[in-house]
Amino acid sequence: MTVTSVDFAKHLVRFRLASAEDVERFVESDLAQAAKSPEEFAVAAVRSKLVTRFQAEEVLNGRGRHLNVDHYLLTEVLGYGGMGTVYIGVDRNTGEERAVKLLDEKFKHEAGMRARFQLEAKAGLRLEHARLVRTFELGTVESLYGETDYMAMELVRGVTLLEGLSFSNGPLKWDAACDVVAQAAMGLEYLHSCQMVHRDVKPDNILIDVHGNAKLLDFGLTLANDHTFDEEFSLAMIFGHDCLGTADFIPPEQSLDSMNVDGRADIYS
């Protein structure tokens, strides 16, 4: 559904993307006045830095309400994953940018996917280390079809190790490889000291920021040896002792019994 230019301007205020004063000032600007269609009007709003391109596209297509996730305002798409989409979101309370991960609507009624999503967030909330992507919040937000889970995490600007390998068209140089592995190992050492096992260590779950800092992410399969997570029990009930993890990287014992492994499984990966 494409909205009119008038509707577009109203939605910017309605969905708290911009103040009424800023929108009024924009509408009276030469850029806005020169727009001959809603699409041109939206482009003008982006050029005026009133909204981001992503926000303009969402409003233009009648999806502006989805830009508000609890107290976060979504500004950009950061990436797509197996369970949902990760956005850049601004915390309206603090002004800080976070990575906001939203569970895909199609999984909201699937017990296994919700358990994994909530396990990822709850495990992350217990962890605080420079080599692990931090999790700050787990919550739910009302959507058109009911409640949807979301989590707010540390925003890391960079690429995954897998993406880095594809960009380099080959293996890393030995010194760079040693550096990444050493940093990941420090994160795992801390994780294991917290009585947890990651169970899904792989290049796609190692982020490298613009300064070369490596951080482990995705705690959706984390096993807590102190059995503190109800979601871990839910995964066990749903999947039994079947193989959890990524086949190319898990050790043989994890492929046989994923619920009874320790930190050595992560070291193997």
Looking at 104, 175, 200, 226, which residue is catalytic? 200
Provide DSSP, the chain: -PPPHHHHHHHHHHTTSS-HHHHHHHHTSHHHHH--SHHHHHHHHHHTTSS-HHHHHHHHTT-GGGGEETTEEEEEEEEE-SSEEEEEEEETTT--EEEEEEE-GGGTT-HHHHHHHHHHHHHHHT---TTB--EEEEEEEEETTEEEEEEEE----EEEHHHHHHHHTSPPPHHHHHHHHHHHHHHHHHHHHTTEE-S--SGGGEEEETTS-EEE---TT-EETT---HHHHHHHHHHTT---S-TTTS-HHHHH-TTS--HHHHHH-
Look up 200 and say whether it is catalytic. Answer: yes
Report the distance separating Cα 200 and Cα 205, nearest Å: 8
Token pair, residue 107, equals 């999984």
Contacts of 53 (CB under 8 A, 6+ apart): 46
Enzyme catalytic residues: 200
